[in-house]
Structure 1
Amino acid sequence: MKLYHIGNYLHRHKIPLLPKVFNILIRLIHNSAIFSETSIGTNTVFAYGGIGVVIHKRSTIGKNCVIGSNVTIGGKSKSINVPVIGDNCFIATGAKILGEITIGNNCVIGANCVVVKNVPDNSVVAGIPGKIIKSDIDPKDYY
């Protein structure tokens, strides 16, 4: 996260070239694609250093989220917009969140789940394709 925060700071202050250097460092050191242009909220953490995580540079991730290894958050072909993840979400290992969708606050996305539809607040999603299996949850029960 330190490399991301430095690169994001440089990007927000429109310092040329250096954010791209930090993007390359993240790719080399952590084997992931987490771009300086991405908006990631405070206190969001990546399990196992974010190994294998791919996040579209225009995606938005809320604060206090936990993102497992090998997670992909990205667009779909022929779709302009990309996923928006709410606050306090837990995204388990191997999950794929794809397309122009919104994941609400306090959600849990199960391991290897493929989410292609919007998810309301306080929901647990699992399966391929992802389906809501439980509503009105407290995400702290799943950390």
Structure 2
Amino acid sequence: MNAIVFYRIANWMYNHKIPILPLIVKYFIFLIFNSVVPPSTYIGKKSKFAYGGIGVVIHSQTTIGDKVIIGQNVTIGRQLSPNGVPVIGDNVYISAGARILGDIKIGSNVIIGANSVVINDVPSNSIVAGVPAKVIKKVDKDIYELLENIY
């Protein structure tokens, strides 16, 4: 059982303007997985939650690309400013405990290290880690080749 399955159901109902039911599914996700994944969030194709999506919190206006893996206890949302939420590209691996905050853009083909706090834009084809997160390495091939048996 994975929270992404229930999110996809709620998102479908939300996009088809079915009232109340998407909210019920959102609360079901919270109850079972202790996660907040609003149906209005856009999560691309082939994206998934690691470990079922336990403890994941995603802002309702966030956009997440295709083939993104989101680890447990990840937060993706805004900072104190009411404006701007993260936009995450394709082929991104977000490790456990990472925080992605504010009006920032995460490029494609990126690895975000465990417990990193990302508050600045991240260029494509890079690995970031730390508090605040900084580019620690550039990559020249698909990240899922580096992360053996992950996807």
User: Under a length normalisation based on structure 2, what TM-score does the superposition of the two structures give?
Assistant: 0.92
Aligned-partner SS, 1:27:
helix
The aligned residue for residue 20 of structure 2 is: 17
Q: Compute the displacement of 1:27 (Å).
A: 0.3
The aligned residue for residue 106 of structure 2 is: 103
Describe the superposition over 1:86-107 as per-residue Cα deviations: whole angstroms up to 9, x where unpaired.
Answer: 0010000000000000000000
Q: Do structure 1's residue 3 and structure 2's residue 6 form an aligned pair?
A: yes
Once residues 5 and 133 of structure 2 are traced to their aligned partners in structure 1, the CA distance between those partners, rounded to angstroms, is 32
Structure 2 portions without partners, runs of 5+: none
The aligned residue for residue 74 of structure 1 is: 77
Give the fraction of aligned pairs with identical amino acids, expressed as a percent: 50
Q: Compute the displacement of 1:114 (Å).
A: 0.2
Structure 1 portions without partners, runs of 5+: none
Output the aligned Cα RMSD: 0.9
How many residue pairs were aligned? 143
User: Under a length normalisation based on structure 1, what TM-score does the superposition of the two structures give?
Assistant: 0.97
The aligned residue for residue 58 of structure 2 is: 55
Tell me the amino acid that sits aligned with residue 61 of structure 1.
I
Once residues 52 and 2 of structure 1 are traced to their aligned partners in structure 2, the CA distance between those partners, rounded to angstroms, is 16
Tell me the amino acid that sits aligned with residue 38 of structure 1.
T
Q: Compute the displacement of 1:77 (Å).
A: 1.1
Q: 2:115 aligns with which of 102, 112, 116?
A: 112
Q: Where does structure 1 differ by over 3 angstroms across 4 or more consecutive aligned residues?
A: none
The aligned residue for residue 134 of structure 1 is: 137
Aligned-partner SS, 2:127:
strand
Once residues 51 and 72 of structure 2 are traced to their aligned partners in structure 1, the CA distance between those partners, rounded to angstroms, is 6
